[in-house]
Structure 1
Amino acid sequence: MSLGSKFFCAAIMFLTPMVSMAEPTTEPLNILRIRPYNSESNGLASVYIYTDRKSLCDTDMYRIDLGWYGSKEMVSAAMAAMIAGKQVQLEIDNAGCASPSWSTKLQSIYVNN
Structure 2
Amino acid sequence: MLAAVDHVQLAAPPGSEDALRAYYVDTLGMTEIPKPPVLAARGGCWFGAGAVQLHLGIETDFRPSSKAHPGLRVVGIEAYAARLEAHGAQVTWDENLPGHRRFYSKDPVGNRLEFLEPRS
TM-score of the superposed pair, with normalisation by structure 2: 0.25
> Structure 1 or 2: larger helix share?
1
> Structure 1 or 2: larger strand share?
2
TM-score of the superposed pair, with normalisation by structure 1: 0.25
